Amino acid sequence: MEKVTVKKRQVIQVEGTGKEKNLAFANALNQIHNRVLKEKDDVIVRIEPLDIQIVKAEQETFTERFFFFFLPRTRADYRVLLDVEVEITLIEMETVPFVEKRVADPNGLPLPFGKKKRMQKEAN
């Protein structure tokens, strides 16, 4: 058998948000798999991040109050935009030679009464 896997490198830009810094990064990195699957029609075997570049990292802070006056507290939301270089190991479907085999309908129902009549006609 010949080798069917191919390795390709690609840069993917992902964005993530979260209530904490690490949650924003985790949200962004979790999007890599879905982005690769949307772009490729081939069978993905492995996705390996090689390099991560931070394009933008923002922190939004605001003061939250209970009933508009009581218990003020400062809240923060984090947003990151990352360029991730990934190495994708995949099987290209165009290069796989499929052999066509003709078979009977696997979902069809066999009709037992039809065979006996045919066998009787052939015997006569």
Please tell me the pTM assigned to this model.
Answer: 0.69
Q: How much is the pLDDT for 106? A: 73
Q: Mean pLDDT throughout 101-106?
A: 80
Q: Does 2 fall in a domain? A: no
| Predicted confidence (pLDDT) per residue in 52-93, tens digit | 999 999 999 988 887 777 788 889 999 999 999 999 999 988
Q: Answer whether residue 99 is part of any domain.
A: no
- The two tokens of residue 29 are 């990195």
Domain membership flag for residue 55: yes
Q: Which domain holds residue 76?
A: 14-94
Please state, in angstroms and rounded to a whole number, the distance separating the CA atoms of residues 122 and 71.
94
Examine residue 75 and state whether it is found in any structural domain, yes or no.
yes
Q: Which helix (H) or strand (E) holds 47?
A: strand 43-66
Is 109 part of any domain? no
Beginning with the edge strand found earlier in the chain, give each strand of the sheet holding 70-91 in spatial order: 5-18, 70-91, 43-66
pLDDT tens digits, one per residue of 32-44: 999 999 888 888 9
Position 62 in a domain: yes
Give the number of domains in the chain.
1
Q: What distance in Å separates the CA atoms of residue 103 and residue 84, rounded to the nearest whole number?
A: 46
Distance CA 42, CA 46 (A): 12
| Tokens matching residue 96 | 């796989």
Residue 7 lies in a domain: no
Judge whether 39 lies within some domain.
yes
Quote the pLDDT of residue 113. 62
End-to-end, the C-alpha distance of the chain in Å comes to 52
Looking up tokens 């066999």 gives 110
